[in-house]
Amino acid sequence: MALSGRPLTRRLVLGTAAASAITALGVAPATAAGRSPAADDEFDTLRTRWRNLLTGTGFDATAQPYRNALAALGTQAGGFAKAMTATLWADLPLGKVSNNITQSYKRLATMALAYAQPGTGFTGDAALGAQVTAGLDQLATTAYTPNTATYDNWWDWQIGAPQAMLDACVLVFPLLSDAQLGRYNAAVDHFVPDSAVAVYTGTSTGANRADLCRVIALRGVLGRSSAKIATASSALSPIFPYVTTGDGLYADGSFIQHTWVPYTNSYGEVMLGDFSRLFTLLAGSTWAVTDPQRGTVLDAVQHAFAPFIVNGLAMDGLSGRAISRGLQGASPTPQSDHTRGHLLISDILRLAESGVGTAGQTAAWRAMVKGWLQREKFQPCLEDPGVGVPELARAQALLADGTVAGTPEPVGHRVFGMDRSVHRRPQWTAAISMCSARTTYYENGNGENLRGWHTNAGMLYWWGSDDQYSDAFWPTVDPYRLPGTTVSTRKLADGYGGAWGAPKPAATFAGGATDGVFAAVGQDVRGLGSTLVAKKSWFCLDDIVVCLGAGITATDGVPVETIVDNRRVSTEALVVDGQKQPRTDGWSRQLRRARIATVDDTASYLFPGGATVNAARISRTGAWHDINTSSSTQPITRDYLTLWFDHGVDPVNATYSYVLMPGGGRPQLRLLPRIIANTATVQAIEDPATNTIAATFFAAGTASPLHVDAPCSVLIRRQGRTLTVAVSDPTQTASSITVTYEGRTLVKADVAGARGASQVQTIRKW
């Protein structure tokens, strides 16, 4: 509500105009006098802890980066306060859209934070505090009441709205009477009863269960209910054990939410954030989380989360529909892989501060995070306006701690049962996003990620010295030309296939074998909404990724393409076999018998034996609203350099081969691997530079000198007479696999129940 057009300051006393505006809501301003102070006890201690988690402690509000962050918070809160009316906000009408209730509470929580934190321009401001309490009462009277029937999205009623409301209550606690808190808590009890966490099923699993526990715990703190806090603490326990199906953490480091969606960097982050906060809140109290199985969460920091963070950014291939959340509402900055990475960084540092980890774990977490913070360039954590002051304080303190050395980027490879694979090198990282009958083509829902159709059709992400996917990539990239994918260009409707991860391919082959350093990865691709079938492999070696495709067949009556890469560029030069190509927008050319294409010092693309490749520079314009109905309609333009194979209309058993060589190396000096086979049955290479043989067998068969008796991935690295052998079953259906090498039985791997994990053996004196 506006205060007679007068600017709100910390010195402003609630005047006649403001009092009249609040009276219009039918409530009187609440003050500390509305409650008889209770003796300090555990409930007060926990409430103070939560307040400190929200506001931060031990920082100088006049120093950077806090001064700017606090001023920005004040500006945002002031804007909400100015626009507030007797019915709250005109752009958030109540009664039909449940998210409007959540967003209303979030605005009140933002205003409450500006009231509680120093340096915002509204610190302790009576008028702003009165607006917050009046808004809480208005919602408790008209929208979020013990008698309201739910509508629209369950999440708003059980998680979104109550979390924001309870945070606001903690921040303006001295201004609220016991009667007010009683009304608010009664509404929470109505929408989030203990029965919401009584059974680990439905929407009460994984990150959602952790969110529900957070709501019940805070309701218990504000309502001084030991039983509620105990319920929340104990209800965390079903999340801790590794799962073998459905939502949650898996022993191999996978994290699934919504049954079919690899969601480490979105829902997984929410879960880790809740754990870090609840462990901190309840530590040392009567209700401390002491379940010994909480160790799975602590182990997951390095085992399940760190593999998907690169120099501070969180990989989009594990973020589901969150990749479509750009500039939204009053957000000061578009969301990106970096902003999601900053959330995970904040969660890990908060967890390190909670005291639940061992000394070794805590030291490893801090060193790992410091390395990310030091290497992050595109959008450093300390410059992200969306990072809260408490999180900024932890990050800055870590950077200033001379006793902690940042951990460098690791070298290695991980293959996950959730159809994801990550290859890491000191100067670059690659990741492959696949899908199978076990995981979805893509997830859309709530109007989000409407064109993510092909994001798991073998998308090959890679990061070097630039941040390809951070700056408005998703609203401007051609969704039919995602890097690494093989797709039918048949046009699909927004949200095609169904929401919440419903569309899944019938194929079961997705995954690969790794010895922890190199890997052989493969996917049986089935087109979404098309007749396309294809077999794809990626052989990840020391300085290259060898990409093969075969059996590419479709009858859709439209062209089928394999996208070598589709990179945002500005003035980068494309050089093909020593010849510079035009840098003008709209340029397109078919390159015949191309052998080496290089993009400045970014990467080289090698085509064994020469190939016909298409290249184009295209300027594309889009808006976040195109892929997410709740995001900005502001047009954005980005320039792309695209390389692709055109397999033609209705191809039959088409093939391709190329080699990705990230960085500014000298590709002409690299001895290329020999392609042993590239068919719909088997794809295999031999790399003399590293003494490696790698193969993807989509069926039992032979690729000399290898023979297998079941579908599998095989990786063999030779050093003298010693062989390191990795075998896996990407179908996750076999019981055993026998591999014959050079006419002798090399290994008989027991893969039953391994969920696609590699069996690695060392054979000496071969």
Q: In sequence order, which residues have a C-beta less than 8 Å from that of residue 243 and are 6 or more positions away?
A: 249, 250, 256
- What's the sign of the alpha-carbon dihedral 449, 454, 458, 464? negative
Q: Which residues of the chain have pLDDT under 50?
A: 1-39
- Classify residue 583 by its DSSP letter: -
* Residue whose token pair is 């408005």: 472
Is the distance from CB of 598 to CB of 592 less than 8 angstroms? no
CA distance 616 to 623: 22
Q: β-pairing, 533-540 with 429-433? A: unpaired
Could you give the residue numbers annotated as active site? 208, 258, 267
Give how far Cα 280 sits from Cα of 53, 222, 304, 330, 341, Å.
9, 17, 21, 30, 21
Measured CA to CA in angstroms, residue 289 lies from 131, 449, 652 at distances of 36, 36, 59
| DSSP notation for 488-531 | E-----TTTT-STT----S---EEEEE-SSSEEEEEEEE-TTS-
Answer whether the bond into residue 688 is a cis peptide, omega within 30°.
no
Q: Determine contact, residues 324/624, Cβ cutoff 8 Å.
A: yes
* Cβ within 8 Å of residue 623, ≥6 positions away: 475, 631, 632, 633, 634, 635, 636
DSSP structural state of residue 443: -
Are the CB atoms for 117 and 164 separated by under 8 Å? no
**DSSP letters of 309-328?**
EETTEEPGGGSGGGGG--SB
Query: Using CA atoms, how far apart are residues 543 and 661, in angstroms rounded to an integer?
Result: 6
Alpha carbon distance 194, 723 (integer Å): 56
Of 564, 606, 566, 599, nearest to 581 (Cα)? 599
pLDDT digits (tens, 9 = 90+) for 580-594: 999 888 899 999 999
Nearby residues of 760 by Cβ (< 8 Å), 6 or more positions away = 515, 516, 724, 725, 726
Q: Which amino acid is at 639?
A: D
CA distance linking residue 61 with residue 79, whole number of Å: 21
From CA 399, how far away is CA 367, in angstroms rounded? 10
- For residue 98, give the 3-state DSSP assignment: helix
Give me the amino acid identity at 133. Answer: T
Return the domain boundaries, the chain: 41-168, 425-672
35-88 confidence digits (pLDDT tens): 444 446 999 999 999 999 999 998 999 999 999 999 999 999 999 999 999 999
- Predicted structure pTM score: 0.93
The encoded tokens of residue 434 equal 């696949």
CATH assignment of 425-672? 2.70.98.10
DSSP string, 346-400: HHHHHHHHHT-S-HHHHHHHHHHHHHHHHH--SS-GGG-TTS-HHHHHHHHHHHH
For residues 106-123, b (16+ Cβ closer than 10 Å) or e, as one string? bbbbbbbbbbbbbbbbbb
- Non-local (6+) Cβ contacts of 751 within 8 A are 712, 727, 728, 729, 734, 735, 736, 737, 757, 759
What confidence score (pLDDT) does residue 26 get?
31
